[in-house]
Structure 1
C-alpha cells in the first residue's frame, strides 16, 4: 500500500507501507496502540489514524526528530493507494470472481483504477488478467467416456 499525503498547497508525498523495517513496525504499534496486522487492515480501510501513524513513521526516515504531534494532516490530505503487486492480485481475483458477469467486472476494474497508485501498472494488470489463456500450453482435459457421461447426474457434473 502507498499512503499519499497531499498537504494543502504542497506537493504530494508518497509513503510505501509495504516496505517497513521491524523497528518501524514496533514504533507504529506502540504509537497506534495496536498490532501491525490490525493497523495494516485499518490502513487498507482508509482509517485516518492508521494512515497518519504509518506515514509519520516513514516520514521519520528523512526527519528523525519528527514527533507524531507535529505531523497532523487534515483528514482529506491522506489517501491510501494500491501498489503494483496489490493491483495485480486484485485484478486476478476480480476476473475469477466476476469473469462471467461483465458489468460487475467493469465496475470492479473502475474501482481498482481509482485505488491504484500507478494507472499504467493498473491497466497492464487488467490486460494481463483478462488476456485469453494460451490453450496450446494448457494440458487438455481428457474427454469423458460416453458411458461415464451417461451415468453422471447433473448435480455431480456441477460439483
Structure 2
C-alpha cells in the first residue's frame, strides 16, 4: 500500500522537478485532447496530429504516474475515484484535467491526515485509508449507474 510516512524534502524536490517538466506538456495537450474526444477522423480533419498527441499524452501520463508512485507507492483507488468525484463537481461528462488532479490531491491529503490522526500513536499507510474510503465510493457509483440503466 502507498505510504507518505517518513518522506523527506528530497522526494518533494524530485516531484517538483518532474511536475515542472511534465505538467506544462500535459496542460498544453488540453486543447487537442478535447478534439480527440470527437474521434480520430474528425480530430485529424480539425488539424490535430492524432498520433503525436496520443504518444505525447501517453509518455507524460506514464511519467507523472511513475514519479508519484516512486515517491509514495501505489495509493489505492485515487485514480479510480478522483475523476468520478471531479465529474460530479465539474458537472460535465469529462471533467477538466485540473479539477481531476486537484480532487485526487485533496483526497490523498485528507486520507493522509485521517491516517495520521485515526489511531493516536500510530500512523497508518495512506493507501489503507484510501482503499477503505474509495471502495465504498466506487460501489455506490456502480449501483447508481446500474439503477439508472446506463451500466454495462
Q: Where is the strand percentage greater, Structure 1 or Structure 2?
A: 1
Give the TM-score, by structure 2 length: 0.26
Bigger radius of gyration, 1 or 2?
1
Choose between structure 1 and 2: higher helix proportion: 2
